[in-house]
Amino acid sequence: MSIDATTQLVTLLGHPVEHSFSPRLHNAAFRAQGVNAAYVATPVRPAALDAAVAGLRALQFLGANVTTPHKEAVLPLLDAVTDRARAVGAVNTIVRDEDTDRLRGDNTDIEGFLQPLDEAAGGALNGASMLVFGAGGAARAVVYGLLTHYDPDRLTIVARRPEQAEGLAADLAEHAPSDALRVSSFEEATLSVRTSRLIVNATPLGMAPDRRGQTPWPNPVDFSADHVVYDLVYTPEETRLLRDAAAEGATPIGGLDMLVEQAAAAYRQWTDRDMPRDAVYEALRSGKQ
């Protein structure tokens, strides 16, 4: 990659950011298409978020991604926010208007989550029963996407902290069919797991290195060929949850595809180009920066 006086910059705002794959995948895409841009990850402590967002304007960045812990806190610092980001209450992508320097926030996690699911299951999930493990930021995007895209007859949110799940359900109730949203503890979720067509892991359980080998549901006998099991964890590509589900005949979907698709949606907004996915997957799997 050649850096010169016309190179435009994109950054990741978060804390910490050292683990992020975003520089690897976006720089691979820029390189493959000859886009004169570079992507860097910048650790930003919460107290410095205002200054960091102002810096995007001042330094005329193409835009930015936003990750933990800033996805919610960044909303009031932007000039405009898309309807889907407002509904979820979180922004993961910022785009700077080159004429006005106005900053617009979006949430491409929703699009990134739905794309692989549509390809794997398509219309078979319309009106189906669904279950989501987790009630954090990732789960918010997942639940909103499922409610607005598939109109499920039942969507159960399973969380270790019931108050967090209740809050998520209350926040998104206006997007749900009548009585579709339910809340459950892990201890009481067995029947919901068995009777849900789609199971989504939106927790970090299974993520390498610290949680590798862990799973949100250690009872694989509750899975069957009727299940689609989607794990948002992307490293390793095949988690224990996905191995267990596939062994019972379920359709597994890994988190690497969501990672790439949410990035592709942001890349399109920054460059007006479709991301070269083959080059991105090659870079991710080879470890090439």
- DSSP 3-state assignment of 148? helix
Q: CA 229, 118, 235 angle in degrees (round to 5)?
A: 50
Q: Which of 203, 227, 224 is nearest to 215 (CA)?
A: 203
Q: Which of 231, 191, 186 is nearest to 208 (CA)?
A: 231
Catalytic residue, chosen from 24, 26, 70, 71, is 71
Q: How far apart are CA 1 and CA 118, in angstroms?
A: 35
- DSSP 3-state assignment of 251? strand
Q: Between β-strands 93-96 and 103-106, what pairing exists: parallel, antiparallel or unpaired?
A: antiparallel
CA 135 vs. chain centroid, Å, equals 13
Q: How far apart are CA 61 and CA 285, in angstroms?
A: 28
Q: How far apart are CA 145 and CA 158, in angstroms?
A: 17
Q: How far apart are CA 267 and CA 93, in angstroms?
A: 9
Q: Which residues contact 147 (CB under 8 A, 6 or more apart)?
A: 155, 172, 175, 176, 177, 180, 181
288 is catalytic: no
Residues involved in catalysis: 71
